[in-house]
Chains A and B, each alone.
Chain A
Amino acid sequence: MSEDTQPATFEFITQTQTIHCSGDWTLAGIQQLERQLEFSHFPVATIVVDGSAIRTMDTAGAWLLFRTYHVLEQSEQNVILQGFRKETADLLNLITHYATTLQPASPSPSIAFLEQIGRKSCYQFIQLIHFLAFIGETFMVLLRSLLSPSRIRWAALFANLHSAGLSALPIIGLMAFLMGVVLAYQGGTQLSAYGANIFIVDLVGITLLRELAPLLTAILVAGRSGSAYTAQIGTMQVTQEIDALQTLGIAPMELLVIPKLLALIILMPLLSAFADVLGVVGGMLIAKVSLGVNVTDFLDRFPQAVSLTHYLIGIGKAPVFAAVIAIVGCYQGFQVKGGAEIVGQRVTTSVVQAIFLVIIVDAVFSILFNLLGI
């Protein structure tokens, strides 16, 4: 504290019902003053605050005075301010003006928790509506494209057939082959215990054709192509290429979504049939090597063991999986807003959602076929 400052003081004179304030009401001596004021009690109905002896005041002092004033008023005492110099009064006015805009205390944490649940639910609900809207729009555009095939972008369609189909053959083939191997090994040990080695044909055939081949193909395509769709559209969204397309008079739906959707719907049954074949070959190999079932025996047994229905059910599910993957992939791409890091997040979401939805759809199919007795 420099030498020429006077400590801030106040004095209450009961006869005149006046508080005389004096000294420097500044930050330097405010702590002491605050404590004094806190323990003071002014037991009168009308109280006068006289500020004529205040030498200087800063916002801290003004705030303290304002707070005291406020406390007095709340205990229903009448407060009159008098004798304040213009500068001090201006400062007080300023404080009063801003103090009234203060917010009430934040709500209790339990309410915040509930609020968060509410907000999250609302957000999810809105997301769902958007997703449904996107599905609706896609199918309208698809229908229009199918009715007038001149609207279909054939070049884009063939490019997609190539990238999502032809180039996916090796990986899908290898996966299906190994799946057949695993199935035959695991099932074979159980079957040979009962000497029912020939039933390996039923096991491998039905499981692969009806369930595993289409499902695993879908999971692989979701990871391979669904993510690529999200990344492509998402990046175009970031670089404003989607906006550029629109201003050039092109519907992004027709150029980007429909070719992908059609390509996958065409491809998935084919890929899944390819997986069927290689899976059965894998099973056949293990049947020969470890169960002693000859290739001819295996092939003889196959038509009896696996009916056409199983094959058709498997192949029939594939286009539905394809639609799910393509729509989720494209939708997540269009949801990208902001920078490049969002693209990565959306790609992850897209793969997880697509696989999850494919499995749900598969479960629904199982229940449905069970009820129908097929």
Chain B
Amino acid sequence: MSIEIQHLNKTFNQFAVLKDINLQVPKGELVALLGPSGCGKTTLLRIIAGLEVPDSGLILFHGEDTTSRHVRDRQVGFVFQHYALFRHLTVFENVAFGLRVRPRKLRPSNAEIRAKVHDLLYLVQMRELAERYPNQLSGGQRQRVALIRALAVEPKVLLLDEPFGALDTNVRKELRRWLRHLHDTMHVTSVFVTHDQEEAMEVADRVVVMNEGHIEQIGTPEELYENAANPFVYRFLGSVNLFHGRVQTGHIRLGDLDVKFHEHAEVHQAPIVAYVRPHELEISREADQNTMAATVSNIYMLGSTVRLELVQVSNSEIIEVELTKEQYRLLKLHKGEQVFVKPRKMRLFMENNRAN
């Protein structure tokens, strides 16, 4: 079932949490709402579920207005960050709960319920844990139970609120892959909220980047990474180095660096910021007109990669560079050494380009 959101607004105590949100989630897609904490992503998800009422705007499920429909009649599955399992019920009863409490006419027979719950438990490889209580399970197991509890009632839409937020890195990675796999087998339209850009990029078909109650950009993970619409998105999708400079009719001066710049050729003396990702910087020992001088101030070994902290000679600002182990080995760098940094690629934003 597709979801459509039109001109949605929500305020809490005169504080606008969501400002004119428009969003379409096509049928069967897995969409991530990504943003820093407090950007309104969870509120948006709760409004889609019907747990929160918007001040204005429409929510359409499959083209049908659902804005005023009660959460109980929306047929959504919701997975909470802290699992929200029923503590006094076993794993089996938790999953079966949504089916057992249906009115008699709609309720499947006991045998059907048992078969269905066992299928779902099999899907998450937790069959042997069916008789355990939630407090006897690990975080990852609890979240899997929460997920199949939501799926047991065959929801039209699956909503996940930071589902892996409370789990440790390894479990999180495993569950991410598993969620993607689950989605590929079940094709339920899903929306999930996260503040972890890596998680959003890995799992989602499309990512919606949100900030301060509005949508910054919508696109596939690749589109967003390659073609960020504005500095916020660029910064949010990974660490980045900033170089402040000025446009000088067709050229940009960034510290020692002189770059040709063909867009906005008419602009003169306007401030500009160049965004360069740490892995898009090259280090060499010879200077040319496209390099800037910097000294190595710190070296961090991070397993497969090496992160360098350099200090620019011209303005003593810090540059972060990421090298592979191989590159690092070849360069034989050590602390305090002067090197030359050359950006392979950069993204330029005029400083007042913050209209959206």
Binding site for B on A (CB under 8 A): 150, 239-241, 243-244, 246-251, 255
**Central interface residue in A150, A239, A248, by most chain B CB within 10 Å:** A248
For the complex, is B266 an interface residue (Cβ under 8 Å from A)? no
Q: Let me know if A247 and B82 touch, CB within 8 A.
A: no
A248-B97, A249-B102, A250-B101 as given contacts; A241 in contact with B72, CB under 8 Å: no
A contact residues around B150 at 8 Å (CB): 247
Q: Which residues of chain B from 232 to 252 have any CB-CB distance to chain A below 8 Å in the complex?
A: none
Cβ of A249 to closest chain B Cβ, rounded Å: 5
- Are B153 and A241 neighbours in the complex by a CB distance under 8 Å? no
> With A247-B77, A248-B97, A248-B98 as given contacts, are A241 and B86 in contact (CB-CB < 8 Å)?
yes
Interchain CB contact (< 8 A) of A240 among B75, B82, B153: B82
Other-chain contact of B49, A150, A239, A247, A251 (Cβ < 8 Å) = A247
- The reply to whether B78 and A247 contact each other, CB–CB distance below 8 Å, is yes
Question: Could you say which residues of chain A place their CB within 8 Å of the CB of B287?
Answer: none
Q: Could you tell me the distance between the alpha carbons of A244 and B161 in the complex, rounded to whole angstroms? A: 12
Contacts between the two chains (Cβ within 8 Å), count: 51
Note all chain A residues with C-beta closer than 8 A to B77. Answer: 247
Residue of B nearest to A235 (CB): B87
Is the pair B82, A239 in contact by a Cβ cutoff of 8 Å?
yes
Q: Which residues of A contact B71 (CB under 8 A)?
A: 246-247
B150-195 at interface with A (beta carbon < 8 Å): 150, 153
0/1 per residue, B98-109, Cβ < 8 Å to A? 100111100000
Question: What residues make up the interface of B, taking CB atoms closer than 8 Å to A?
Answer: 49-51, 71-73, 75-78, 80, 82, 84-87, 97-98, 101-104, 149-150, 153
Do A247 and B104 touch (CB < 8 A)? no
> Would you give 15 A-B contacts (Cβ < 8 Å), ordered by A?
A150-B104, A240-B84, A241-B87, A243-B51, A243-B84, A244-B78, A246-B50, A246-B51, A247-B49, A247-B71, A247-B77, A247-B150, A249-B153, A250-B72, A255-B101
Chain A residue contacts of B104, Cβ below 8 A? 150
Chain A residue, CB-CB nearest to B97: A248
CB atoms of B153 and A239 under 8 A apart:
no
Chain A residues closer than 8 Å to B85, beta-carbon distance? 241, 244
A219 to B331, CA, bound (A): 80
Contacts of A150 in B (CB 8 A): 103-104
List residues of chain A with CB within 8 A of the CB of B51.
Answer: 243, 246-247
Do A246 and B80 form a contact, CB below 8 Å, given A150-B104, A241-B86, A255-B101? no
Query: A248 — nearest CB in chain B belongs to which residue?
Result: B98
